[in-house]
Amino acid sequence: MESSILEALPNIHGILIGIGTAFFSGFAMFAYQKLQESKDKLDKTLEEVASFSTPSTYIGSDHSSLISENGELNWDDEAKNILNHSKSIFSYLDYEEKYGMPRSEFSQVPSDDDVLATTRNLCLMFHYLFVSYPFSGRSMVHVKGVSENIEKRKEEPFSIERLREIERRIGFLSWCWETSNRSLIALGQKATNIEMMKAEKDAVNSFNQSIERMGETSEEEKERIWKTFHQPRLNMQVDYAKIIQEYFNKVFLYRDRVFPQLSETLKTYETFNNRFAIKRLTINALKVLAVIFIFGVLVPILLSALGQDKALIWHKSLPYFLLLITVCPYLYIWKKVFNMVKLWDFT
């Protein structure tokens, strides 16, 4: 005798699967639309942030350990050491301004090489700061063996942990400028003067050598040669103080404008992503549907067919077992939805 349960299960589950699929499809479309809108807004913000973070200058140096093998700026060691040393060279200026403490006559005078090397290292550090993880600026130059690692590291999805790391670095740089801006500007000005004096000396020497090779020359010709071939080199002199100040201006703009906007869009995206969890819900829904379809539709149909065609007799408890395992998913889903509705804060 054919079990009424085996006969009823395919029809019941077929109807319930259809209703559940229609409901979930509507929910999934709504959730996906909200999630995609927040993702598009986040991507647009990240693109704007990447454009803003891209440095406008590149100052190279001999410092080669700023970027680690995984493409990240060695922030807590090398970068902070450069910042601390940059502040310390003319730190007496900030102490003089805040506490009225003049420079001690026994304090060590920094060498020109130290000033110039430190300034160039500082500018290079800032360049890598904004073009490497967790920031997203684009480098002006390609450094073989370094740029590839930097770009690979930045390909990872933008997360709240990445945002917190940006906040940590921006906070430290803001503090550096607020406490040591005079010494940092003085460092840049001194480095600029050193290079300017060297450039002027080289230009004068080159000009004199040119005049000697030409022999007797009129003053008008000498002036033309100087203005045409030698003076332009002096006009191209880098202003390190301006570059340093521009980088710190970018830091404060990041702190006051970029970071709040980026934080808001990321928070919105994370909220929708965690609330709907569309990917996880879809995977779980497909698993549940697969269990119900196999044990609630296919197996009962197969058992009924074998019972009629082959006269096979099944254990009496088998239909009840199939009923139990195919009803449990509905009870589980009902319980989850019920608990979720209880948490709603509106009536």
The stretch 286-299 carries a mean pLDDT of 84
| Contact between 103 and 182 (Cβ < 8 Å) | no
The stretch 163-188 carries a mean pLDDT of 93
Joined tokens for residue 257: 């404008």
Whether the per-residue pLDDT at 99 is higher than 50: the answer is no
Q: Would you say residue 227 lies in a domain? A: no
| Residue 116 pLDDT level (bands cut at 50, 70, 90) | very high
The stretch 163-183 carries a mean pLDDT of 93
Range of 118-127, 134-143, 302-311 with top mean pLDDT: 118-127
Q: In the chain, how many domains are there?
A: 2
Q: Per residue in 233-285, pLDDT tens?
A: 666 678 999 999 999 999 999 999 998 999 999 988 888 777 777 777 778 88
Whether the per-residue pLDDT at 2 is higher than 70: the answer is no
Cβ-proximal residues to 342 (8 Å cutoff; 6+ apart), any chain: none
* Residue 222: per-residue pLDDT: 62
Whether 116 and 250 share a structural domain: yes
Token pair 């550096």 is found at 176
The residue with greater pLDDT, 306 or 55, is 55
The stretch 1-20 carries a mean pLDDT of 77
Q: Per residue in 11-51, pLDDT tens?
A: 888 888 888 788 777 777 877 888 888 889 999 998 989 88
Whether the per-residue pLDDT at 140 is higher than 90: the answer is no
Q: Would you say residue 317 lies in a domain? A: yes
Q: Would you say residue 209 lies in a domain? A: no
| Contact between 278 and 27 (Cβ < 8 Å) | no
Handedness of CA 300, 306, 311, 313 (dihedral sign): negative
What's phi and psi for 111, nearest 5 deg? -80, 160
Q: Would you say residue 222 lies in a domain? A: no
Whether 253 and 141 share a structural domain: yes
| Residue 176 pLDDT level (bands cut at 50, 70, 90) | very high
Whether 91 and 159 share a structural domain: yes
Q: How far apart are CA 114 and CA 94, in angstroms?
A: 20
Whether 80 and 152 share a structural domain: yes
Report which DSSP code applies to 107: S
Whether 295 and 159 share a structural domain: no
Whether 302 and 257 share a structural domain: no
* Residue 1: per-residue pLDDT: 41
* Residue 215: per-residue pLDDT: 65
Whether the per-residue pLDDT at 7 is higher than 60: the answer is yes
Q: Which domain holds residue 296?
A: 4-53+277-342
Whether the per-residue pLDDT at 333 is higher than 70: the answer is yes
Whether 111 and 166 share a structural domain: yes
Helix extents (H) in 54-159 = 80-89, 92-99, 112-131, 147-154
Whether 136 and 30 share a structural domain: no
**Percentage with pLDDT > 90 across the chain:** 25
Whether 110 and 245 share a structural domain: yes
Q: Considering only CA atoms, which of 168, 131, 162, 125 is closest in space to residue 42?
A: 162
Average pLDDT, the chain: 81
The stretch 310-319 carries a mean pLDDT of 73
Q: Per residue in 192-215, pLDDT tens?
A: 988 888 867 766 666 666 666 666
Whether the per-residue pLDDT at 96 is higher than 80: the answer is no
Helix extents (H) in 215-317 = 219-225, 231-235, 240-253, 259-276, 278-293, 299-309
Which of 57-61, 83-87, 157-161 has the lowest average pLDDT?
57-61
* Residue 248: per-residue pLDDT: 95
